């Protein structure tokens, strides 16, 4: 269903009870009517629809152009509602919820069969999280519905961190966007599978492996993060994601190797964009340079990642080269997204032994 107009609603900054804000009330009513609504979370903007409604879930997939075998995350605002949708809550899941909810942590549990089958993509599990954003929580409570919400962008493109990003991608395809300003974390939630004896990371994100292990001890990483030939148990495990318009190539090596790759591309007549750290700002000659942030502060890199990838869509570049980042802590999520955006295209410098 196409909408002639996509409304951008602003939420009053001075209202004490956000659920009573007129914009929240309008958006909640539209959700109850089966419409889809884009709203801010602490990670990225989500495209929310009633997780109990086949019609609403179909509209999410339709608006995004998203493959239907890609499961959706269900957002709730009250932990007590979880029992309505999952068979059981294992002790390790309970510990993680107590530590990191509300927050950028999605927990995969056994599905109870109450949600639209489009949410689970036919799996026996469902992914659930409680976002840490006042507008998101107020909207869920006002609608009194569990909201299935992938990122509010065209499938495969960089996720949106502002309402303007959402409007650019989805205007005319959805009825409503709630503008809550820029999001904070910048990369999506960490997704963990809690249906086994050990917690397994299905997608790295805003809560790091190290943080998880502080709460539940040793944590596994799903092999599908490396090889993707199985059906995805989690959003973001399959297909090229987060990609800018021009091909993105990761360059893993010395500054001299990075410079060599830029020079080779320029010599072949290509307009080159580079995505680099603060430490290497101004070091290389390229048609467009975008600085992500310092390698010493990966939270700034994560927060700016998607916006930076989108900047290249406004530039006439033929290829984008990006530095790589250390894969500790938040670096695991940053590199996961960069590899997805590059479609696995990595140039590695092989030094003589």
Instruction: Please compute the mean of the pLDDT values over residues 234-260 and round it to a whole number.
Output: 80
pLDDT digits (tens, 9 = 90+) for 91-130: 999 999 999 999 999 999 999 999 999 999 889 999 999 9
Domain residue limits, the chain: 7-225, 248-348
7-225: CATH topology is DHBP synthase (3.90.870)
Instruction: Answer whether residue 241 shows pLDDT above 70.
Output: no
Q: Are 7-225 and 248-348 in the same CATH fold?
A: no
Confidence category of residue 301, pLDDT binned at 50, 70, 90: very high
Confidence category of residue 243, pLDDT binned at 50, 70, 90: confident
CATH class of 248-348: alpha beta
Q: Which residue has the higher pLDDT, 16 or 238?
A: 16
As a whole number of angstroms, the distance between CA 36 and CA 47 comes to: 7
Element (H, E) at 221: strand 220-221
Question: How much is the mean pLDDT over the chain?
Answer: 91
Model pTM score: 0.89
% residues pLDDT > 70 (the chain):
93
Do 40 and 178 form a contact (C-beta atoms < 8 A)?
yes
Instruction: Please compute the mean of the pLDDT values over residues 268-296 and round it to a whole number.
Output: 96
- pLDDT for position 232: 52
């Amino acid at each position: 269903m196409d909408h002639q107009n996509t409304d951008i609603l602003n939420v009053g900054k001075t209202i004490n009870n956000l659920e009573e804000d007129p914009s929240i009330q309008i958006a909640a009513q539209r959700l109850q009517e089966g419409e889809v609504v884009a709203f801010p979370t602490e990670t990225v903007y989500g495209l929310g629809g009633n997780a109990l409604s086949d019609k609403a879930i179909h509209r999410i997939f339709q608006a995004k152009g998203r493959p239907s075998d890609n499961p959706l995350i269900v957002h709730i605002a009250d932990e007590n509602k979880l029992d309505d949708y999952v068979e059981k809550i294992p002790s390790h899941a309970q510990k993680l919820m107590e530590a990191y909810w509300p927050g950028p942590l999605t927990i995969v549990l056994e599905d109870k069969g109450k949600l639209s089958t489009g949410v689970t993509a036919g799996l026996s599990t469902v992914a659930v999280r409680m976002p840490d954003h006042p507008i998101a929580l107020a909207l869920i409570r006002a609608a009194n519905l569990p909201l299935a919400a992938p990122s509010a962008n065209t499938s495969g493109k960089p996720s949106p961190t502002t309402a303007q990003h959402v409007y650019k991608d989805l205007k005319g395809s959805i009825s409503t966007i709630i503008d809550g300003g820029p999001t904070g974390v910048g990369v999506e939630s960490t997704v963990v599978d809690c249906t086994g004896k050990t917690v397994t990371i299905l997608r790295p994100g805003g809560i790091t492996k190290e943080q998880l292990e502080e709460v539940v001890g040793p944590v596994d990483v799903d092999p599908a993060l490396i090889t993707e030939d199985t059906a995805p148990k989690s959003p973001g495990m399959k297909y090229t994601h987060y990609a800018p318009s021009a091909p993105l190539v990761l360059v893993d090596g010395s500054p001299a190797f990075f410079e060599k790759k830029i020079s080779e591309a320029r010599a072949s007549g290509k307009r080159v964009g580079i995505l680099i750290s603060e430490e290497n700002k101004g070091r290389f000659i390229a048609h467009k340079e975008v600085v992500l942030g310092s390698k010493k502060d990966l939270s700034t890199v994560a927060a700016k990642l998607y916006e930076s990838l989108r900047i290249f869509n406004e530039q006439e570049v033929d290829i984008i080269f990006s530095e790589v980042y250390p894969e500790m802590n938040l670096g695991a999520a940053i590199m996961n997204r960069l590899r997805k955006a590059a479609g696995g295209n990595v140039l590695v410098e092989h030094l003589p032994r």
